[in-house]
Amino acid sequence: MQVINKEAHEAFDNNLHPGSWNISINARLGEEAVSGEVLADIAQDRDDVIVLTADLMFSNRMSDFAKVHPNKFFNFGISEQNMVAAAAGLATTGKKPYVASFASFLALLCCEQIRTSVAYPKLPVRILAHHAGMTMGFYGTSHHALEDLSILRSMADMTIICPSDRTQIRAALESTVDYDGPIYFRLGRGREPLVYEDGIPEFKVGKAIKVREGNDMTIITNGLTLAASVDAADQLKEEGISVQVLDMHTIKPFDEDAVKQAVKETGRIMTVEEHSVIGGIGSCVAEILADNGLTCKFGRHGVYDEYALIGPPKDLYKHYQLDAKGVANKVKEFFK
């Protein structure tokens, strides 16, 4: 267990050059990372909710939880596999452990522990996999998570949720506290733009949300690429292309009915994801189309079977055409 020493951190910050990276600056930049705050609220009335992290309490803002509930917070240090295994053990005692670390470490490094110790016995461990996709940017391939959906969705009894902004993160966490079995939450780095500024419809696992209406085609996306897809749809509307946008916030169970309806309404579907095009949203939709014998023009947009380059996330999004301009260009190519 770790209790925050505010004075020590302030002294540490003050000894650094004001323009340098420091804990306070990082915390402010990650102000949209609300998981710790939300869990702190939930834990007020629940003794079973606990939080575990692996030396990343400031990166994932679990520090917000630790300030309020120091006796329910456990820092395992750089020992992710041990942390997941311990969470499984705690879950057998009636606890609901929320395990927070980088998505690359959880999905890849802890794959065996998640599969065998968590998913197989269907334990209510909640995996908060933050800094997913390319959000770790210049930290390199070891810190990118472009395969996590492929890995986790192949595990039986694993629920996968990909919220897009702080509003949806709160809704997803609050509505799934007592959901059966393990859940993998795919999160960003806490700097995501708001999509649901006025709140969202009732959050329901496995039920997509139509964010934009459209007749010409449908974009199916979620999480880290939803804002870019919405902005792209708004740009394209001014150019005479009507794009429907579906927020497929739940990867497993996947909303098959929403895909079938999109085929009927627009006849064209393109998936957009900050993930490999292999095994992610694109693969989910392709499987539904094939399994149900549905015919429509279909395309996938994401990272095409390669390891992402290393650089600032904003530059990577531009390079892989996962920003608003890039998504809009991909839609235009799709129509050609």
Q: What is the tens place of the pLDDT at every residue in 130-152?
A: 999 999 888 889 999 999 999 99
Nearest to 54 by CA among 88, 83, 27: 83
pLDDT digits (tens, 9 = 90+) for 259-290: 999 999 999 999 999 999 999 999 999 999 99
- 71 and 177 share a domain? yes
> Would you state the structure tokens that stand for residue 324, as one six-digit string?
């608003």
Q: Which amino acid is at 70?
A: P
Q: Output the domain CATH number for residue 173.
A: 3.40.50.970
Cα gap 257→21, rounded to integer Å: 46
- CA–CA distance, 60 with 313 (Å, rounded to integer): 17
**191 in any annotated domain:** no
Nearest CA-CA partner of 249 in 159, 138, 144, 125: 159
181 and 227, same domain (yes or no)? no
Residue range of the domain that includes 215: 209-335
Amino acid letter for position 45:
D
User: Does this model's pTM top 0.85?
Assistant: yes
CATH code of the domain covering residue 264: 3.40.50.920
Residue 203 inside a domain? The answer is no
CB pairs under 8 A, 24+ apart, for 17-25? 23/58
Q: Roughly what angle, to the nearest 10 degrees, separates helices 324-335 and 226-238? A: 60
Tell me, yes or no, whether 164 and 214 share the same domain: no
Which amino acid makes up residue 301?
Answer: H
Domain count, the chain: 2
Q: Are residues 216 and 123 in the same domain?
A: no
Q: What is the pLDDT of residues 18-72, one digit of tens each?
A: 443 444 545 554 545 788 999 999 999 999 999 999 988 888 888 899 999 999 9
Catalytic sites, residue numbers: 80
User: Are 87 and 32 found together in one domain?
Assistant: yes
